[in-house]
Amino acid sequence: MKKDPYEKLLGRKRKWTPVQTTAGKLKEGAEETIYRALAIRHMELPVGSWVTEALGKDVPDSARVLLESNVKDEENHDLALGYIANSIGVNVEAEAEAFRLRTAWEEHPDHTILKALVAERAIFFVLLPFFRFCGDAGLRTVSADISRDEQIHVACNSLVCLDMGLSWSKSLDKLRKATINWVFQPLGKNTYDKYLDRKFWLDASDRLMYEGKAPEFSETQRARMPAFFEHANTNLPQYS
């Protein structure tokens, strides 16, 4: 008997528990952008609420268990990124602007599952590799764990949108561009280090949005992950 695609995705999940990390060194030249990207964590819970709202509509029954699990993941992500904010601090102006952007996303009229898909596919999927390449040890570890969850979320939301015949509006795409442009605005053109080049990240967001893939991130799996000796034991996530 062929297994339901939503059940397959649910079976790929791995539970992990965030822990409070300690601050390390951020990549020089990326600091302001990291604080802007970190401020976008305030969209984690709204994404969960959008999925919850969609559950009350005409979402396929076979997707419900997975979607409910994804909502719990978003709460976990919010907690993990909150721990990062506790350790490295925040930029007050960036936090305020992120809340304004969140309001724009919340008020946008597109279907809530579409908003979740676009936010995760073309924003979170860009910010997480950025954290991997430019963050400290704690941020690199957290981003790797969140990335595993988000792969399942995007696959799930893509299937749901396909099943429901949904497609995003031009105005939602415009909001996506405004959001990602704001995050990476502090970076300029850099011919020596592509991870400090704004265009590198903006192009990746466009390709993820329109093609569903970003060859630019082929090195993500080889991005330097923290060695065990870079962490105190209390900084390491707990897996089960």
Enumerate domains of the chain plus CATH numbers. 27-226 (1.10.620.20)
Position 227 scores a pLDDT of 37
Cα–Cα distance, 36 to 96 (Å, whole number): 10
Q: Amino acid letter at 208?
A: L
Mean pLDDT, consecutive 10-residue stretches, the chain (240 aa), reads: 83 91 94 97 85 77 88 92 96 97 95 92 94 94 92 92 92 98 94 92 94 75 39 40
134 contacts 195 by C-beta, under 8 angstroms: yes
Global model pTM greater than 0.85:
yes
Q: SS3 breakdown of the chain: % helix, strand, coil, rounded to 5?
A: 70, 0, 25
CB atoms within 10 A of CB 138: 26
Position 107 scores a pLDDT of 95
